[in-house]
Structure 1
Amino acid sequence: MTVQEKAEVERSPLDQIRQVEAEVARGIAAARNRAKLAAKEMSAQADDINRKAREEGRREGEQHYQEIIAEAKTATEMLLEQAHKQAEELRQMGKSHIDAAVRFVEETVVGSQQEAADA
């Protein structure tokens, strides 16, 4: 029989129960500490995942924003080009109308002068 076994046999059952309770309490404390460490690690991982998700969301949002801006810029340029074409067409129409009006006035004046000369 070893010294430890002999010491355990000599202890009272109450002392043996107390010893087992102390061992169990140490085991529970160690498990609690491991659980706290695991919870801290999981919390840090969750924070990292959230940070990465926010950053990815920000990047995707920025990319989407840039795509919308590019589309709007293209649409604006097309509208501007159409407006310039339409303005040029209107300018040409106005010029042709002015030319026709000038000819009409010339014909009217010349016709009036000829009528006055004939009379």
Structure 2
Amino acid sequence: MGLIWVVVILAGTPLGDIGFLVLAFAGLVATLVYGFLLEGLYGYTPGKYLLGLVVIKSDGSDCTIGASILRNLLWIVDALPTFNLVAMVLILLTDDNQRVGDLVADTVVVKQ
């Protein structure tokens, strides 16, 4: 997904401010939809799969699309204002190493 942001930054400049904003918005939407769909349908993204991780509900059931949407929307709270500082602190302080999105969506990331 980092590739999307490289394209946005590189292509946004020649297209001017409006082009940059359009590409940045498209990149944000693509990033969120990527997480919604893959985690909601399969429980993992390619990166989580390679690391042997899966997102599940706290009761052990499969992650749902609704939980995935909530979890990924709240990534904005974790990541954007503080460069993931909120997520890192919560992961260290919670018993199941959960970030804001996991706590609200009642999900947890576990080893497969």
Q: Which structure's CA Rg is the greater one?
A: 1
By percentage of residues, which structure has more helix? 1
TM-score higher than 0.5: no
Compute the TM-score of the two structures, normalised by the length of structure 1: 0.24
Compute the TM-score of the two structures, normalised by the length of structure 2: 0.25
Flag the structure with more relative contact order, 1 or 2, with Cα contacts below 8 A and sequence separation at least 6. Answer: 2
